[in-house]
C-alpha cells in the first residue's frame, strides 16, 4: 500500500560498505515508508545479503560512506541488539543453529528485550508460552519445535518458519526478509507468505529479498528494485518483477557494461 | 644429569619431605609424563596435615539394598579393585591409602537405588582424603552423586573404587565446585564385568587445581561405558583430566565426550587414553574432546592417546578447540539480546550437553557452577 504521506521508516542514502577491505555496496539509495512492501531482486552475489547484514549491524561489514536513517534517526551508530529492540528485523537467508540453547528460551529472551524497549512488562515463562502458542499459528508450526535447540536439526523450511515466528513475536516496524522463500516447497511457501501478509500492516514495512517471482505471486510488492554489483540499478512497480521473470537478467549485464562496471 | 637447583630445592623443602614421608613416594613432578601439564605446586605447597574435622558420612542413611561393609574387611577389597584397574601405584591412590581417611565401603544389591554424598573441605587448610568402595552385585543399579565443595585453602582427595558385576549399572555423577585456593584430586576407578554399564558424568569449576582421573577397565570387554565431562577454568586455574579406558576382552563400547572452557589465564588439560589390546576385538569406542577458548591468555592442551592393537575395531576420536562462534553471537544480538547475555546463553548452551546429563541431585549445582564461572569472568 503506497501512501505518499505515510511516515518514512527507513531511508538509505548513498550507502557504501565493504567486507575484509573488499567494497561490496557501491552506493545504495532506498526509501521505505510505513505500509509499503518492497522487493529487492538480483542475481547471486549482487550484494543483497550484504545490504541486509549492514542494516542489521553485522560487525564483519564496514560502512565506508552514506547514511541510514530509521524513523529519521541514525541507525548505523547503534549496536545490532539496539536496532532489533527499536523494531528492525532481519530474517536470515541462513538461520544459525545454536546447539544447547532452547528455542523457547531464546524466543522469550528476545521477545522480552523488544517489550522492554516498548515499555511493556516482561513475560514470565507461563505468559510467554501462551503468547508463543498463539503466534505459532501464524506459521502453522508444530509446538515441538519450541522444545528443541535453536534451529538445530531443523529442515530448511522449518528454519524459515522459525524466522517468521520470531518476526511474529517481535512485531518489527521494518522487516527485512532475506530469501525467506529459498528452500521452501510450495506448501511451506504458501504458509510463510501467508504469515508475512498477515503481519503486514499500515504501520510497518517489509523488504523482501528474493530472486524468484514465485514469492511475489503470493506477496504483492508495492516497489521492486533490481540490484546488481552493489547498486540498485532500476526501481519500479510489480511489473518490473514480471519483466525480469520474462526476460531474465541479461539486460542487467548490458546496463552494467554500458555503465562500465563489469 | 645434574638436577637444577630449583628442582632440588623443591624436592628437599620441608613440605615436600613431609609429603614424601606421608605418602611413601615423592611428590609427582612435571618431569613425569603423566604430570607433564599439571604442576603439583597447585596443592603441594599445602602442609600435608590430615583432616581434623568430623569424619564425613558416619550418619549416612543408606537406601534399601545398599549395605555398609566392615572397614577392616573392605581394605583388601579396595586394594583388589585398584589392582584390577592397574592404578594401585598411582600417586593419588597411594596418598589416600596412606592418609587412612574416611572409608565408605558399600555393597549394592538393589535393583534401583540412589545415594548422594556431600564432601565440603571448606577452607580447612588440611588434606581431606576419602575412599569409597562400591561393589555392585549382578543386576544391581545405583545412582550415586558426589558433591564436592571447597571455599578456601584445602586439598580434597577422593578415591572411588567400584566393581560392577554382570548386568549391573552404575550412574556416577561428580560435581565439584571449588575455590582458587583449593585443590581437588579425584581418582575414579571402575572395573566392569561384561554386560555391566557405567555412566560417569563429571563437572568441575572454580578450583585452583583440579585433577580428575577416571580409570575404567572392562575386565572381559562386553560392557558399556559412557563418559561425560565438563571442566571450566579461569583466572590462574588449572584443570586436568587424565582418563583411561581399557578393554581387556571383546565387544566392549565406549562413548566419551570431554568438554572444557578456558578463560582468563586458565589452563585446561585433557589426556584421554583408550587401550584396545589384541583380546579386545570388535570394540566400539568413540572419544570426542571439545574445548572453548574464551581468552587469548588461556591455554588448552588436549591429547587423545589411542593404543589400538586389535584389528577388528571401531575407534573414532576427534578434538576441536574453538571460540564463541561470531555468527551465533550475531544471530542472538540481531534479536535484541545484549552481547554479554548472548555470550552467556551460548556458553550455557555449550555446557548443556554435559550438564543436562547430571542427575536431579546435582542439578541444583548447575547455577553454582555457572556462578563461579561468571564471578571469575566478570
Ligand atoms: N563475509 C564475507 N566475506 C567475504 N566476502 C563476502 C562476505 N559477504 C559477502 N561477500 C561477497 O560479497 C558479494 C555479495 O554477496 P551477497 O551480499 O551475499 O550477495 P547476494 O545476497 O546478493 O547473493 C559476493 O561477491 C560475496 O562473495
Ligand atoms: Mg544472499
Q: What is the 3-state secondary structure (H, E, C) of A157-221?
A: HHHHHHHHHHHHHHCCCEEEEECCCCCCCHHHHHHHHHHHHHHCCCCCEEEEECCCHHHHCCCCC
pLDDT of residue A252: 81
ipTM, interface predicted TM-score of the complex: 0.96
Q: SS3 helix, strand, coil % of chain B, rounded to 5?
A: 25, 40, 35
Q: What are phi and psi of A70, to 5 degrees?
A: -110, 115
Tens-place pLDDT, residues B51-96: 999 999 999 999 999 999 999 999 999 999 999 999 999 999 999 9
Higher local confidence (pLDDT), B10 or A73: A73
Please, which residues have CB less than 5 A from ligand 2, an ion?
A 48-49, 93
pTM here is 0.85
Question: Residue A100 and residue B327: Cβ atoms within 8 Å?
Answer: no
Compute, in angstroms, the gap from residue A249 CA to the centroid of ligand 2.
Answer: 16
Confidence at B100, pLDDT banded by 50, 70, 90: confident
Q: CA A204, CA A161: separation in Å to the nearest integer?
A: 20
Q: What would the grid cell of residue B241 be?
A: 583430566
Q: Does the pLDDT of residue B214 top 90, yes or no?
A: yes
Higher local confidence (pLDDT), B335 or B36: B335
The residue contributing the CA closest to ligand 1 atom 26 is A45
Residues B221-243, mean pLDDT to the nearest whole number: 95
Q: Locate cell 565439584: which residue?
A: B176
Q: What are phi and psi of B143, to 5 degrees?
A: -105, 115
pLDDT of residue B369: 67
Q: Is B202 helix (H, G, I), strand (E, B) or coil?
A: strand
Domains of chain A: 8-101+172-259 (3.40.50.300)
Question: Residue A57 and residue B334: Cβ atoms within 8 Å?
Answer: yes
CB-nearest to B337 from A57, A81, A96 is: A81
Q: What would the grid cell of residue B81 be?
A: 579393585
Domain boundaries, chain B: 18-324
Confidence at B373, pLDDT banded by 50, 70, 90: low
Residues B162-176, mean pLDDT to the nearest whole number: 97
10-residue stretch averages of pLDDT, chain A, 262 residues long: 87 97 97 97 94 97 98 97 98 94 95 96 95 94 95 93 96 97 90 95 96 90 95 94 87 78 60
CA distances from B181 to A153, B21, B46, B60, B69 (A): 43, 24, 10, 29, 35
Question: Residue A99 and residue B349: Cβ atoms within 8 Å?
Answer: yes
Q: Considering only CB atoms, which chain A residues are within 8 Å of B327?
A: 96
Q: Buried (b) or exposed (e) across A77-86, using 16+ Cβ within 10 A? A: ebebbbbbbb
What is the percent of chain B where pLDDT is above 70? 94
Q: CA B225, CA B176: separation in Å to the nearest integer?
A: 21
Beta strands in B66-181 (DSSP E): 66-68, 102-108, 113-120, 127-136, 141-149, 154-164, 169-177
Q: CA B131, CA B185: separation in Å to the nearest integer?
A: 12
CB-nearest to B331 from A79, A92, A99 is: A92
Q: Would you tell me which residues 325-354 of chain B have a C-beta closer than 8 angstroms to some C-beta of chain A?
A: 325-328, 330-339, 341-342, 345-346, 348-353
Question: Residue B330 and residue A99: Cβ atoms within 8 Å?
Answer: no
CA distances from A259 to A112, A241, A252, A254 (A): 48, 22, 11, 9
Q: Considering only CB atoms, which chain A residues are within 8 Å of B345?
A: 98, 101, 105-106, 109
Question: Residue B328 and residue A98: Cβ atoms within 8 Å?
Answer: yes
pLDDT of residue A40: 97
pLDDT of residue B1: 38
Q: CA B349, CA A149: separation in Å to the nearest integer?
A: 9
Amino acid at each position: 500500500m503506497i501512501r505518499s504521506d505515510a511516515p518514512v521508516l527507513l531511508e538509505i542514502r548513498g550507502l557504501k560498505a565493504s567486507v575484509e577491505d573488499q567494497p561490496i555496496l557501491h552506493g545504495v539509495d532506498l526509501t521505505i515508508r510505513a505500509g509499503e512492501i518492497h522487493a529487492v531482486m538480483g542475481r547471486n552475489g549482487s550484494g543483497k545479503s550484504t545490504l541486509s547484514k549492514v542494516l542489521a549491524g553485522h560487525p564483519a561489514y564496514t560502512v565506508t560512506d552514506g547514511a541510514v536513517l530509521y524513523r529519521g534517526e541514525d541507525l548505523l551508530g547503534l549496536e545490532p541488539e539496539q536496532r532489533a529492540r527499536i523494531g528492525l528485523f532481519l530474517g536470515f537467508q541462513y538461520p544459525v543453529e545454536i546447539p544447547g540453547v532452547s528455542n523457547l528460551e531464546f524466543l522469550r529472551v528476545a521477545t522480552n528485550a523488544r517489550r522492554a524497549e516498548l515499555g511493556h512488562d516482561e513475560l514470565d515463562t507461563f505468559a510467554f508460552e501462551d503468547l508463543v502458542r498463539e503466534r505459532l499459528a501464524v506459521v502453522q508450526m508444530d509446538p515441538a519445535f519450541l522444545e528443541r535447540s535453536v534451529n538445530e536439526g531443523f529442515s530448511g523450511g522449518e528454519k524459515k518458519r522459525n524466522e517468521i515466528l520470531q518476526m511474529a513475536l517481535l512485531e518489527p516496524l521494518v522487516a527485512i526478509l532475506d530469501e525467506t522463500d529459498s528452500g521452501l516447497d510450495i506448501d511451506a511457501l504458501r504458509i510463510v507468505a501467508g504469515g508475512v501478509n498477515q503481519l503486514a500492516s499500515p504501520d510497518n514495512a517489509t523488504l523482501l529479498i528474493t530472486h524468484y517471482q514465485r514469492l511475489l505471486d503470493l506477496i504483492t510488492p508495492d516497489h521492486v528494485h533490481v540490484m546488481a554489483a552493489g547498486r540498485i540499478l532500476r526501481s519500479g512497480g510489480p511489473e518490473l518483477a514480471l519483466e525480469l521473470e520474462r526476460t531474465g537478467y541479461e539486460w542487467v549485464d548490458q546496463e552494467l557494461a554500458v555503465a562500465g562496471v563489469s | 644429569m645434574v638436577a637444577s637447583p630449583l628442582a632440588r630445592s623443591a624436592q628437599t623443602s620441608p613440605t615436600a619431605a613431609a609429603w614424601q614421608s606421608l605418602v611413601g613416594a615423592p611428590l609427582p613432578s612435571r618431569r613425569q609424563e603423566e604430570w607433564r601439564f599439571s604442576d603439583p605446586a597447585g596443592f603441594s605447597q599445602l602442609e600435608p596435615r590430615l583432616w581434623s574435622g568430623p569424619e564425613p558420612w558416619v550418619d549416612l542413611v543408606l537406601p534399601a539394598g545398599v549395605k555398609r561393609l566392615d572397614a577392616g574387611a573392605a581394605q583388601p577389597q579396595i586394594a583388589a579393585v585398584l589392582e584390577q584397574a592397574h592404578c594401585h601405584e598411582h600417586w593419588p591412590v597411594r596418598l589416600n591409602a596412606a592418609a587412612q581417611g574416611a572409608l565408605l565401603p558399600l555393597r549394592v544389591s538393589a535393583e534401583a537405588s540412589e545415594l548422594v554424598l556431600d564432601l565440603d573441605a571448606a577452607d580447612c587448610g588440611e588434606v581431606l582424603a576419602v575412599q569409597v568402595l562400591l561393589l555392585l552385585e549382578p543386576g544391581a543399579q545405583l545412582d550415586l552423586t558426589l558433591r564436592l565443595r571447597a571455599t578456601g585453602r584445602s586439598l580434597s582427595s577422593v578415591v572411588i573404587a567400584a566393581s560392577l558385576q554382570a548386568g549391573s549399572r552404575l550412574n556416577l555423577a561428580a560435581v565439584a565446585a571449588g575455590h582458587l585456593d583449593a585443590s581437588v584430586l579425584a581418582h575414579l576407578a571402575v572395573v566392569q564385568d561384561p554386560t555391566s554399564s557405567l555412566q560417569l558424568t563429571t563437572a568441575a569449576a572454580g578450583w585452583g587445581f583440579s585433577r580428575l582421573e577416571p580409570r575404567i577397565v572392562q575386565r572381559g570387554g562386553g560392557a558399556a561405558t559412557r563418559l561425560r565431562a565438563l571442566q571450566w577454568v579461569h583466572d590462574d586455574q588449572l584443570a586436568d583430566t587424565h582418563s583411561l579406558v581399557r578393554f581387556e576382552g571383546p565387544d566392549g563400547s565406549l562413548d566419551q565426550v570431554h568438554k572444557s572452557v578456558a578463560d582468563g589465564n586458565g589452563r585446561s588439560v585433557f589426556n584421554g587414553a583408550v587401550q584396545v589390546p589384541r583380546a579386545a576385538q570388535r570394540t566400539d569406542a568413540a572419544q570426542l574432546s571439545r574445548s572453548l577458548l574464551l581468552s587469548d591468555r588461556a591455554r588448552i592442551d588436549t591429547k587423545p592417546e589411542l593404543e589400538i592393537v586389535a584389528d577388528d575395531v571401531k575407534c573414532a576420536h576427534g578434538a576441536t578447540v574453538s571460540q564463541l562462534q561470531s555468527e551465533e553471537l550475531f544471530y542472538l544480538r540481531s534479536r535484541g539480546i545484549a552481547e554479554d547475555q548472548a555470550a552467556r546463553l551460548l556458553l550455557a548452551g555449550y555446557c548443556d550437553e554435559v550438564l543436562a546429563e547430571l542427575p536431579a541431585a546435582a542439578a541444583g549445582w548447575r547455577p553454582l557452577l555457572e556462578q563461579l564461572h561468571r564471578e571469575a569472568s566478570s
